[in-house]
Amino acid sequence: MATSWESFLQDEQQLEELARQAVDRALAEGVLLRTSQEPSSSDVVSYAPFTLFPSVVPSALLEQAYAVQMDFNLLVDAVSQNAAFLEQTLSSTIKRDDFTARLFDIHKQVLKEGIAQALRVIPWADGLSLQFSPQTVFLGLNRSDYMFQRSADGSPALKQIEINTISASFGGLASRTPAVHRHVLNVLRKTKEAAKILSNNPSKGLAMGIAKAWELYASANALVLLIAQEKERNIFDQRAIENELLGKNIHVIRRRFEDISEKGSLDQDRRLFVEGQEVAVVYFRDGYMPSQYSLQNWEARLLLERSRAVKCPDIATQLAGTKKVQQELSRVGMLEVLLPGQPEAVARLRATFAGLYSLDMGEEGDQAITEALAAPSQFVLKPQREGGGNNLYGENMVQALEQLKDSEERASYILMEKIEPEPFGNCLLRPGSPARVVQCVSELGIFGVYVRQGKTLVMNKHVGHLLRTKAIEHADGGVAAGVAVLDNPYPV
């Protein structure tokens, strides 16, 4: 869809000057990353990659994504509470995927011991159900990601890629990018267009959820513990949330899993203490990839899960975000089971689902593999991994499926319909690279926050968006993986 600034993409000299101004504004606004050379230090930083211009997003699809976010919050929360569903859904995956199996082992151990603050565990006919005391608090900060599927008639449709239930990132930097694109358009004297760039402050909303959980924990001197990686390039994104909390007089400490192993402890009431300080909320910005765990780190994760502190996410919610769960949710009738009596929410959710297929051993999995090998351009092979850069496409997918098709290891993957958006031109700005126009596609994320106390949902909100754009030459990968760049939607 054409924009009033499209002609500027053709003027190489003006493009370079505009890029210099945009980069300066990004630095001034704090759209920052640490460098790959010094990922543990803020002595030298650079701007986070971003698009020179905002990218067109149909208003109707943006509104649809916002409207369904609170339904996704409810769905994730419902899945996390349904131990029988999680066990049944992940039973084949945990046999072949060690990482998911380790997470599930902690989940089982916590259930067996009894969730801190829970009254008792009651076995019902439909599986294991938990009855919580009024004090038990659960916090979800998630991000549901979509692309715009090109329909046969050329119109775009909103289709979910995945939902991130742990370490959903870039809420902080997404809060700072609107000012950059407004500046670019104002430089071009496109003031009306600049005014259409939506205000966006996910960091404020994410902090609001943490603050509510901290408040319900009801210990005025307790802290928020952010579990961080030692080499963290994206620290300014995280600091934005920390700073919002500090403005509410809620103090945050950053520690690694290793620090928890050495200096973390539980008292007889299972209150969590780190270096003698009580912790009300544990916010994970680490712990979503196998490489982030040593034996010591697994022990630290178990300690945190056993504690009374509010976990974001708790282990069940992390499992609720796995690809296998996403695939199972797409089965006919499954949403109705998890969200009974909510047909409108079910309809909104189902409208965003792309095709998702099990690769479990048996006729269903065999059929999915046969179809993917016959038309590899129409599918994506997904392992149970977060962090970007893990999916397999085209010839790489074919080779993997040929190796996996007779092995039970295939159950650790799912197959997904490949989304085919309409490409468009934009200029991607990266440190050390010249400004050049390339064909791109975008991915829209909506941030969601919910807080539950016992069985009562006390907060359920959408709190902002994230648009990431990448060149069509890259099949997979986000900003952290060095492929996509930050962007803003230009609603039309």
Catalytic residue chosen out of the listed positions 164, 201, 203, 358:
164
Confidence check: pLDDT of 389 > 80: no
Residue with tokens 């986070």: 48
Domain boundary among 372, 397, 417: 417
304: which strand partners?
A: none
Catalytic residue chosen out of the listed positions 386, 410, 445, 464:
386
Question: Is 382 an active-site residue?
Answer: yes
Q: Count how many Cα atoms sit within 13 Å of the Cα of residue 467 in the half-sphere of its side chain.
A: 29
Q: What share of the chain is helix, strand, coil (3-state, %, to 5)?
A: 40, 25, 30
Catalytic residue chosen out of the listed positions 30, 46, 80, 162:
162
Catalytic residue chosen out of the listed positions 182, 271, 323, 410:
323
Those residues whose C-beta lies under 8 Å from the C-beta of residue 50, and which sit 6 or more positions away, are 22, 26, 31, 177, 180, 428, 429, 485, 486, 487
338 shares a domain with 473 = yes
How many residues are present in the chain?
A: 492
Q: For residue range 42-63, list pLDDT tens digits in order.
A: 999 999 999 999 999 999 999 9
Catalytic residue chosen out of the listed positions 46, 55, 142, 169:
169
Is 79 contained in some domain?
yes
Confidence check: pLDDT of 341 > 90: yes
112 shares a domain with 11 = yes
Confidence check: pLDDT of 118 > 50: no
**For the domain that residue 386 is a member of, what is the CATH number?**
3.30.1490.50
Number of domains composing the chain: 2
Cα–Cα distance measured from residue 137 to residue 458, given in angstroms and rounded to the nearest whole number: 10
More reliable by pLDDT, 120 or 407: 407
Q: For residue range 293-316, list pLDDT tens digits in order.
A: 999 999 999 999 999 999 999 999
Write down the H helix ranges in 30-97: 59-81, 83-90, 93-96
118 shares a domain with 190 = yes
Question: Is 143 an active-site residue?
Answer: yes
Handedness of CA 131, 133, 136, 140 (dihedral sign): positive
Confidence check: pLDDT of 183 > 80: yes
* Phi, psi values for residue 245, rounded to 5°: -70, -40
Question: Is 468 an active-site residue?
Answer: yes
Catalytic residue chosen out of the listed positions 143, 212, 285, 311:
143
pLDDT at 310: 97
In angstroms, what CA-CA distances link 485 with 169, 170, 239, 389, 393? Answer: 13, 11, 20, 14, 21
Locate 446 and state its tokens.
């909506």
Q: For residue range 225-281, list pLDDT tens digits in order.
A: 999 999 999 999 999 999 999 999 999 999 999 999 999 999 999 999 999 999 999
Q: For residue range 143-164, list pLDDT tens digits in order.
A: 999 999 998 887 899 999 999 9
Those residues whose C-beta lies under 8 Å from the C-beta of residue 426, and which sit 6 or more positions away, are 9, 51, 52, 53, 55, 437, 438, 440, 469, 487
pLDDT band at 130 (very low <50, low <70, confident <90, very high): very low
Confidence check: pLDDT of 127 > 60: no
220 shares a domain with 360 = no
Cα–Cα distance measured from residue 393 to residue 418, given in angstroms and rounded to the nearest whole number: 9
pLDDT band at 324 (very low <50, low <70, confident <90, very high): very high
Q: For residue range 437-465, list pLDDT tens digits in order.
A: 999 999 999 999 999 999 999 999 999 99
Is 1 contained in some domain?
no
In angstroms, what CA-CA distances link 363 with 85, 178, 359? Answer: 22, 49, 9
Q: Domain range holding 374?
A: 356-417
Cα–Cα distance measured from residue 329 to residue 350, given in angstroms and rounded to the nearest whole number: 9
461 shares a domain with 376 = no
Question: Is 169 an active-site residue?
Answer: yes
